[in-house]
A and B are shown apart, each in its own frame.
Chain A
Amino acid sequence: MPQLLRLATAGGVDDGKSTLIGRLLHDSKTIFEDQLAAVERTSRERGDDYPDLALLTDGLCAEREQGITIDVAHRYFATPKRKFIIADTPGHVQYTRNMVTGASNADLALVLVDARKGVLEQSRRHAFLASLLGIPHLVLCVNKMDLVGWSAERFSEIREEFSQFAMKLNVADLTFVPVSALHGDNIVHRSASMPWYEGTSLLHHLEEVHISSDRNLIDARFPVQYVIRSQQHDFRGYAGTVAGGVFKPGDEIVVLPSGFTSSVRAIWGPGGEPIDEAFAPQAVTVQLADELDVSRGDLICRPNNRPHLGTDVDAMICWFAEHAALRPGARYTIRHTTRTTKARVSALDYRLDVRTLHRDETTETLSLNDIGRIRLRTQQPLLFDPYRRNRGTGSFILIDETTNDTVAAGMITGPVLPAAQVVWQSTAVGRHERATRGLTVWLTGLSASGKSAVAVELERRLVAAGRPAYLLDGDNVRHGLNADLGFSAPDRTENVRRLGEVARLFADAGVVAVVSLISPYRADRELVRATHQAAGLPFVEVFVDTPVEVCEARDPKGMYARARAGEITGFTGIDDPYEAPDTPDLVLRPADGDPAAMAAKVLALLEG
Chain B
Amino acid sequence: MTTTYELSHLRALEAEAVHIFREVAATFERPALLFSGGKDSVVMLHVAGKAFWPAALPFPVLHVDTGHNFDEVIEFRDRAVRRHGVRLVIGSVQDDIDAGRVVEEAGPRASRNRLQTATLLRSIQRHRFDAVFGGARRDEEKARAKERVFSFGDEFGQWDPRNQRPELWNLYNGRHRAGEHIRVFPLSNWTELDIWQYIVDEEIELPAIYYAHRRNVFQRDGMLLAHTRHVTLLEGEIPYQATVRFRTVGDATCTGCVESSAATPEAVVAEVAVTRVTERGATRADDRISEAGMEDRKKDGYF
Cα of A226 to Cα of B142 in the assembled complex, Å: 34
Residues of B within 8 A of A320 (CB): 166
Cα of A270 to Cα of B198 in the assembled complex, Å: 14
Are B14 and A270 in contact, with the CB atoms below 8 A? Answer: yes
Are A241 and B166 in contact, with the CB atoms below 8 A? Answer: no
Residues of A within 8 A of B191 (CB): 76, 78, 83
Q: Which of B5, B22, B145 contacts A215 (CB 8 A)?
A: B5
Chain A positions 221-235 with a Cβ under 8 Å from a chain B Cβ: 225-226, 228-230, 232-233, 235
Are A83 and B9 in contact, with the CB atoms below 8 A? Answer: yes
Cα of A214 to Cα of B75 in the assembled complex, Å: 47
A348 within 8 A of B: no
Known: A61-B292, A271-B49. A233 touches B5 (CB 8 A): no
Are A74 and B145 in contact, with the CB atoms below 8 A? Answer: yes
Are B276 and A73 in contact, with the CB atoms below 8 A? Answer: no
A85 within 8 A of B: yes
- Min CB–CB distance A423 → chain B (angstroms): 35
- Min CB–CB distance A16 → chain B (angstroms): 19
Cα of A8 to Cα of B13 in the assembled complex, Å: 18
Chain A positions 482-527 with a Cβ under 8 Å from a chain B Cβ: none
Chain A positions 5-43 with a Cβ under 8 Å from a chain B Cβ: 32-35, 38, 42
Are A226 and B8 in contact, with the CB atoms below 8 A? Answer: no
Q: Which 7 A-B pairs have the closest CB atoms?
A: A34-B281, A59-B142, A271-B50, A270-B50, A283-B18, A104-B168, A404-B175
Residues of A within 8 A of B171 (CB): 335-336, 395-397
- Give chain B's interface residues, CB within 8 Å of chain A: 1-2, 4-9, 11-16, 18-19, 22-23, 25-26, 47, 49-56, 138-139, 142-143, 145-146, 161-162, 164-171, 173, 175-177, 188-189, 191, 193-194, 275-278, 281-282, 291-292, 295
Residues of A within 8 A of B188 (CB): 74
A72 within 8 A of B: yes
Chain A positions 51-93 with a Cβ under 8 Å from a chain B Cβ: 57, 59-62, 70-76, 78, 82-83, 85
- Min CB–CB distance A392 → chain B (angstroms): 7
Determine which residue in B2, B26, B49, B295 has the highest number of CB atoms from chain A within 10 A of its CB, and name it: B26
Cα of A38 to Cα of B191 in the assembled complex, Å: 20
Residues of B within 8 A of A531 (CB): none
Residues of B within 8 A of A409 (CB): 166, 168
Q: Which of A34, A71, A76, A212 contacts B146 (CB 8 A)?
A: A71
Cα of A335 to Cα of B26 in the assembled complex, Å: 14
A contact residues, range: 35 or more
- Min CB–CB distance B1 → chain A (angstroms): 5
- Min CB–CB distance A6 → chain B (angstroms): 9
Are B15 and A282 in contact, with the CB atoms below 8 A? Answer: yes
- Give chain A's interface residues, CB within 8 Å of chain B: 1-4, 32-35, 38, 42, 57, 59-62, 70-76, 78, 82-83, 85, 97-98, 100-101, 104-105, 212, 215, 217, 225-226, 228-230, 232-233, 235, 239-241, 246, 268, 270-272, 276-277, 279, 281-283, 285, 296, 320, 333, 335-336, 338, 391-392, 395-397, 399, 404-406, 409
Are A100 and B166 in contact, with the CB atoms below 8 A? Answer: yes
- Min CB–CB distance A441 → chain B (angstroms): 36
Residues of A within 8 A of B145 (CB): 57, 59, 73-75
- Min CB–CB distance B114 → chain A (angstroms): 19
Are A74 and B138 in contact, with the CB atoms below 8 A? Answer: yes
Are B18 and A272 in contact, with the CB atoms below 8 A? Answer: no
Determine which residue in B15, B49, B54 has the highest number of CB atoms from chain A within 10 A of its CB, and name it: B54
Are B16 and A281 in contact, with the CB atoms below 8 A? Answer: yes
Residues of A within 8 A of B49 (CB): 271
Q: Which of B2, B56, B193 contacts A78 (CB 8 A)?
A: B193
Residues of A within 8 A of B281 (CB): 32-35
Are A212 and B4 in contact, with the CB atoms below 8 A? Answer: yes
Closest to A397 in B: B171
Residues of B within 8 A of A268 (CB): 53
- Min CB–CB distance B240 → chain A (angstroms): 25
Cα of A480 to Cα of B19 in the assembled complex, Å: 49
Are B26 and A100 in contact, with the CB atoms below 8 A? Answer: no
Residues of A within 8 A of B161 (CB): 60, 62, 71
Cα of A276 to Cα of B5 in the assembled complex, Å: 11
Known: A60-B295, A74-B189, A404-B177. A34 touches B282 (CB 8 A): yes
Cα of A240 to Cα of B20 in the assembled complex, Å: 10
Residues of A within 8 A of B53 (CB): 228, 268, 270-272, 285
Q: Which of A4, A97, A105 contacts B13 (CB 8 A)?
A: A4
Closest to A227 in B: B26
Residues of B within 8 A of A1 (CB): 6, 8
- Min CB–CB distance B124 → chain A (angstroms): 18
Q: Which of A72, A225, A232 contacts B19 (CB 8 A)?
A: A225
Are B169 and A392 in contact, with the CB atoms below 8 A? Answer: yes
Residues of B within 8 A of A233 (CB): 54-55
Pairs A–B under 8 Å by Cβ, sample size 26: A3-B8, A4-B9, A32-B278, A34-B282, A59-B295, A62-B161, A74-B138, A76-B138, A105-B168, A212-B4, A217-B5, A228-B54, A228-B55, A239-B51, A268-B53, A270-B18, A277-B1, A277-B5, A279-B2, A335-B171, A395-B171, A397-B168, A399-B175, A404-B175, A405-B173, A409-B168
